[in-house]
Amino acid sequence: MPRNIWMLLLAAWVSLLSGCGYNTLQSTDEQINSSWSEVLNQYQRRADLVPNLVRTVQGYAKHEQAVLLQVTEARARVGSLQITPELANDPEALARFQAEQAKLGGALSRLLAVSENYPQLKADAGFRDLQAQLEGTENRIAVARNRYIKAVQDYNLTVRSFPSNLTAMVLGYKVKPNFTVENEKAISTAPQVDFGAPPPAPAAGN
């Protein structure tokens, strides 16, 4: 077959793929990869804050061993997760990742709540800085998670929709699991500690 005929056939095939969602599959898949990397970066940022936060609280609240242990163990479980590119494609692995991160978030919230009982800890500049970093990181986690959820939704819509689903089938693109939206607001809300709140008024007669 003459070379110019091959070129015409190739151009027709490329045009057909483009019209059947090939480019969209490529771009949405790449957006998922980028969004997932950001999710991991922000969760790692939070995990990196934990040791210093625990040490600071421990210096003022030595008797809160149960809460400190919960945070340390939750951070250890998060660190033991096998974070591979395939994790985001495995529904069970993604669910475990989400569950362990949620447990760490809950443990950190309890740790910050405990600090309310220790005025000297609340006044410590190092603790206040760590708390501000943690709150900022929780906000960034929420943003990164929402972007990832949206990226997966866009990709999955392309994989399921006609005629791009035919291209996805031929090229092996499959629906990807996503973060669950159950309790999404609670999981994504940064812990709040109001260091500026005035102390409670003494009881009458004291």
Quote the pLDDT of residue 199: 38
Cis, bond preceding 202 (omega within 30 deg of 0): no
Domain boundaries, the chain: 25-188
Least confident range of 57-71, 88-102, 133-147, 156-170: 156-170
Does the pLDDT of residue 149 top 90, yes or no? yes
More confident residue, 187 or 160: 160
Q: What letter would DSSP give residue 161?
A: S
Higher-pLDDT residue of 103, 8: 103
Q: Are 141 and 108 in contact (CB under 8 A)?
A: no
**pLDDT value of residue 164:** 83
* Arithmetic mean of pLDDT over the chain: 82
Residue 23 has a pLDDT of 85
Mean pLDDT, rounded, for 104-120: 94
- Look at 50-59, 64-73, 117-126, 177-186 and tell me which has the smallest mean pLDDT: 177-186
What dihedral angle (degrees, nearest 10) is formed by the CA atoms of 53, 56, 58, 60?
-140
Q: What is the pLDDT of residue 167?
A: 82
- DSSP-derived secondary structure for 2-44: -HHHHHHHHHHHHHHHHHTTHHHHHHHHHHHHHHHHHHHHHHH
Residue 204 has pLDDT above 60, yes or no: no
The percentage of the chain sitting over the pLDDT mark of 90, rounded to a whole number, equals 62
Quick one: 38 exposed, middle or buried, by C-beta within 10 A (0-12, 13-18, 19+)? middle
Which CATH number, 1.20.1440.20, 3.20.20.80, 3.30.70.1150, 3.40.50.720, labels domain 25-188? Answer: 1.20.1440.20
The answer on pLDDT for 147 being more than 90 is: yes
Check pLDDT > 60 for residue 161. yes
Least confident of 36-50, 88-102, 133-147, 190-204: 190-204
CB 148 within 8 A of CB 67: no
As a whole number, mean pLDDT of residues 54-80 equals 94
In this prediction, residue 3 carries a pLDDT of 57
Q: Is the pLDDT of residue 130 over 50?
A: yes
